[in-house]
Structure 1
Amino acid sequence: MKSNFFNNIATLSLGAGISQLIPLVFLPLLTRIYSPEQFGVLALYIALVSIIGVVSSGRYEQAIMLPKNDSDALALCKVTMVISLFVSCILLLLVLSLGKEFALFLGNAAIYPWLYFLPISIVITAIIQTYTSWFNRKKLFRTTALVRVVQSSSQSVTQVGVGLLAYPGLIFGQIMGGLVASIVLLKNLKKKNWLVIKGASYKQSKSLMKKYNRFPKYGIFGAISDACAVQMPILIITRFFEATITGYFSLTFRVLSIPATLLSSALSQVFYQKVATAHLEQPDKIAPLVIKIALVLFAIFLPIAFLLACYGDMLFVYFFGKSWQLAGELSQILVYAAGIRFIVSPLSVVMSLGENLKKAVLWQTLYLLTVSSVLIIFSTEDIKQLLIAFVVHELVLYSSYFLLIYFTAVSIGKKTKCAV
């Protein structure tokens, strides 16, 4: 049983690692094919898909793992797809009627023709989220790992191929990657599963929606808050700066997220396993474990921070080309924000223990409000001043989150001692 558990983690981690490495291998080529402005449009498109897509299926995809029988789980798959199709139709009507005005409001008119593809991306996102949950339910982790690799490889190859033909292919490649992944997922569904989905009645679907209504009721706000908080810098920078600046920022943050992308998921899983075990056997060991892991993460990121802080501009020119020097200069500022995120984010699993999720949600809400305020207030300054303010905000908020996590771990240990 334990062997299967770790094999599943290894399979998912390997798939995630390969799927993240593929775009990174192609990135130096893409930065020489496409301009910073085009990367800025891509970043804005991804931000919109991320915010809308996270709630496009009513969060019911989160419930697919829960029903006792597969027929109810497959009926929930149908529910999520119907909701996402409805949301996509509404979105298409909004784009048709207000697309130009919305593009101007966002601050980048070049996004306008791509807004028509948003409904397609939303449906694709829903398919991937829904059927990934289904395959995870059936413990078919190799399929979900394969899908991630197929998505990233088809996306990267399309972006390079279309770009070499002198066509705008960044967003097109993004869409194609998701489309290919969706096709692979749907093709792997068994025929009998398709029959169950097709045969799910309105009465059954309505009953399941009512039974699991806590997911849209309590999950949508948190999901939107989280997505908005992550994408807020892109939205604000696009609104108040040129598309070129958005492109520089997006590439910089993408590069700075590499350590977290490659290590954070695996570290979170290992740390969560250790914390969960300690919670049952030695709760007073959780707080020292938090400090220990934080120090390990600090030691991992320290040489990366030193290299980028001192030589970021030169490294970016070497790897991505001369037109990306400013992105390298921005990396010398943003590296501190990326560092504290890298250290603190994997530790947040502590907040899932006991009755501590409310504290995490409160911090998340505070973060969204403060990051939005800081970015808007400093939007009249030049980009470097804005990013310095952003970095200070990240250091303060994530330091407070670390303290919240640590003292939560301490209180868990004390409560258990008192109970004994």
Structure 2
Amino acid sequence: MPQSELANSGMNPRRDAPDTRSGRLRGQIQNTLRSSLLRNIATVVSGTAGAQALTLAFMPVITRIYGPENYGVLGVFMGLAMMLIPVAALCYPTSIVLPRRDSDALKLVKLSLLMATFVSSLLAIFLLVAGDWFAEALSVEAAVPFLMLLPAVTFAGAALETAQQWLFRKQLFRVTAKAAVAYSLLHNSIRSLAGLVSPTAAVLVVTTGFGPLLHSALLLLGIRKGPPLQVKPEVEQRQSPVRMRDLAGRYQDFPKFRAPQMLINTVSQNLPTLVLAAYFGPAAAGFFALCKQALTMPTHLVGKSVADVYYPKLARSIQHGEPIAGTVMKAVAGLAAVGLVPFALVFATGPWLFATVFGEEWRTAGEYARWLALAEYAVFASRPCTVAVPALGLQRLSLIFEICSTTLRVSALYFGAVVLGEQMDTVMAFSIASIIIYCALVLVVFIKARAWYANLSHADHAD
């Protein structure tokens, strides 16, 4: 019998079995590489990587043009903006990926923009009436000339988040990737060229503050040039339309629990910049602002990209009653392994690294960076747990957790700035508090994810 016929006949199973197993293994690897999840992650990561690489390339130029004090004024202004942007639309944009029907999601898009308009208008009225008092109460007088820019920047940031969530829902990750690269190139070019003409805090604040508006415009341009976003009839399931008011009620956990939680979180995250500016001057705030921007790049490069893809995946898994605890923990372990080397490198060589890359006057920022790298590493690894919170409907628990964690951060800042009275001690205390917080978050989400599936399985058996 010919060898080929012998192989096909199955008469030599001992010899054929390894080939069969290796063939199945190759097939599994190929299927994994072709999976839509990995393709989506790769697309988002590539776009974010390109954007962050461009930003990193421009940062040594921008830091040398403007200097620590101007950067500190920017840090104070953007700290205020970043506190407001996540809650400007009352966190309704985060719910856009959740409805089964596209028509409901589109109504959530409109609801998000309406809420952002309302909140930004209220903010503008408040700043007109009590802007000076507000700045004095927070000891951020350096930001007084730019306070009236906050409403516009806040609305633009909320519109950007809304557009991104719609694109994530529609799996149009290529559009977001291209827009991210184009935005980084244009935005940093504008900041650099404007600084060469007038290297002042006002120029830096204005050119940076309107970045979300530019990014939103690029996303809209990508949507218009891309395929039409049609609402598929088969997805609509032939159900009667749902009113926007009913959708607002259905997802009321987002404004009731997630919005306060996000506000508290962003306040606690940006509070160090304000505290350092108030107690130690704009230069100290500038050092911290640069550290945060540089060290959050890995988080945005991989952590946020993975999270943006995993969030709709987790939402679908939960809709179908599938276990997610293992998926979340594998993602945490993977990110922890990926981030270990770069964050350890910053901890070991921070002062030299910052002085070499950004200029000698930024060496103190490198001292900050050694401790902030440890905190940012914890943030980086815990990103899958962060997106699992809204998917599991843990808004109420998340709010309680955020109140406790913010109390810990504020206590750490008070101890460092007021009791010890040292810049470095303040940064160290804040970093240690952040590490404790995000390790606790991973543990809480893991426990809740397992409990959710156990309860679901018990309910199915009871039925």
Q: TM-score, normalised by structure 2?
A: 0.74
CA–CA distance in structure 2, aligned partners of residues 283 and 73 of structure 1: 25
Distance 1:176 1:315, change over 3 A: same
Q: Is the 8 A contact 1:106 1:238 kept in 2?
A: no
CA–CA distance in structure 2, aligned partners of residues 107 and 51 of structure 1: 16
Q: 1:250 deviation in Å?
A: 1.3
- Which of 99, 113, 124 is matched with 2:156 structurally? 124
Q: Which residue of 2 aligns with 1:177?
A: 211
- Which of 408, 425, 430 is matched with 1:390 structurally? 430
Q: 1:298 deviation in Å?
A: 5.0
Q: Which residue of 2 aligns with 1:215?
A: 254
- Which of 105, 116, 128 is matched with 1:96 structurally? 128
Q: Is the 8 A contact 1:151 1:178 kept in 2?
A: no
Q: 1:371 deviation in Å?
A: 0.6
Give the 3-state SS of the residue equivalent to 2:87 in structure 1: coil
CA–CA distance in structure 2, aligned partners of residues 95 and 248 of structure 1: 28
For residues 292-311 of structure 1, the aligned pairs below 5 Å read 297=335, 299-311=337-349
Q: Which residue of 2 aligns with 1:114?
A: 146
Q: Is the 8 A contact 2:385 2:441 kept in 1?
A: no
Q: 1:414 deviation in Å?
A: 7.9
Give the 3-state SS of the residue equivalent to 1:54 in structure 2: helix
For residues 336-375 of structure 1, the aligned pairs below 5 Å read 336-346=374-384, 359-375=397-413
Distance 1:276 1:34, change over 3 A: same
- Which of 174, 177, 180 is matched with 1:145 structurally? 177
Q: Is the 8 A contact 1:53 1:122 kept in 2?
A: yes
- Which of 331, 346, 371 is matched with 1:333 structurally? 371
Distance 1:118 1:325, change over 3 A: same
CA–CA distance in structure 1, aligned partners of residues 399 and 215 of structure 2: 32
1:11 is aligned to 2:43: yes
Q: Is the 8 A contact 1:330 1:384 kept in 2?
A: yes
Distance 1:4 1:333, change over 3 A: closer
Corresponding letter in the other structure for 1:368: T
1:22 is aligned to 2:62: no
CA–CA distance in structure 2, aligned partners of residues 276 and 67 of structure 1: 10
Q: Is the 8 A contact 1:100 1:112 kept in 2?
A: yes
Q: Is the 8 A contact 2:83 2:266 kept in 1?
A: yes
* Bigger Rg over Cα: 2
CA–CA distance in structure 2, aligned partners of residues 210 and 357 of structure 1: 15
Distance 1:293 1:188, change over 3 A: closer
For residues 398-409 of structure 1, the aligned pairs below 5 Å read 398-405=438-445
Q: 1:187 deviation in Å?
A: 4.3
CA–CA distance in structure 1, aligned partners of residues 86 and 255 of structure 2: 11
CA–CA distance in structure 2, aligned partners of residues 70 and 295 of structure 1: 34
Corresponding letter in the other structure for 1:52: L
Distance 1:210 1:387, change over 3 A: closer
Q: Which residue of 2 aligns with 1:248?
A: 287
Q: Which residue of 2 aligns with 1:199?
A: none
CA–CA distance in structure 1, aligned partners of residues 357 and 306 of structure 2: 28
Distance 1:211 1:158, change over 3 A: same
Q: 1:336 deviation in Å?
A: 2.5
Corresponding letter in the other structure for 2:216: S
Corresponding letter in the other structure for 2:271: M
CA–CA distance in structure 2, aligned partners of residues 271 and 67 of structure 1: 16
Distance 1:263 1:189, change over 3 A: closer
Corresponding letter in the other structure for 1:183: A
Q: Which residue of 1 aligns with 2:15?
A: none
Q: Is the 8 A contact 2:257 2:399 kept in 1?
A: no
For residues 219-230 of structure 1, the aligned pairs below 5 Å read 219-230=258-269
CA–CA distance in structure 1, aligned partners of residues 390 and 124 of structure 2: 38
Residues 98-147 of structure 1 show CA distances to partners (whole Å, capped at 9, x for unaligned) of 22232233323221121111111122112212233333344433223233
Q: Is the 8 A contact 1:151 1:181 kept in 2?
A: yes
CA–CA distance in structure 1, aligned partners of residues 392 and 102 of structure 2: 30
Q: Which residue of 2 aligns with 1:237?
A: 276
Q: Which residue of 2 aligns with 1:60?
A: 92
Aligned residues: 409
Q: Is the 8 A contact 2:89 2:115 kept in 1?
A: yes
Q: Is the 8 A contact 1:107 1:239 kept in 2?
A: yes
1:47 is aligned to 2:79: yes
Corresponding letter in the other structure for 2:42: A
Q: Which residue of 2 aligns with 1:259?
A: 298
CA–CA distance in structure 1, aligned partners of residues 179 and 385 of structure 2: 28
CA–CA distance in structure 1, aligned partners of residues 204 and 362 of structure 2: 17
- After superposition, the CA RMSD in angstroms is 3.9
CA–CA distance in structure 1, aligned partners of residues 389 and 89 of structure 2: 26
Residues 267-319 of structure 1 show CA distances to partners (whole Å, capped at 9, x for unaligned) of 55788879998xx99969939x94x7666655544444553334321211110
Q: Is the 8 A contact 1:147 1:181 kept in 2?
A: yes
- Which of 74, 88, 112 is matched with 1:80 structurally? 112
Residues 337-385 of structure 1 show CA distances to partners (whole Å, capped at 9, x for unaligned) of 2333333444556667867665544333211121112212332211112
- Structure 2: any 5+ residue segments left out of the alignment? 1-30, 232-241
Q: 1:90 deviation in Å?
A: 2.1
Distance 1:217 1:148, change over 3 A: same
Q: Is the 8 A contact 1:152 1:177 kept in 2?
A: no
Distance 1:281 1:118, change over 3 A: closer
For residues 27-42 of structure 1, the aligned pairs below 5 Å read 27-42=59-74
1:319 is aligned to 2:380: no
CA–CA distance in structure 2, aligned partners of residues 32 and 186 of structure 1: 33
Distance 1:250 1:222, change over 3 A: same
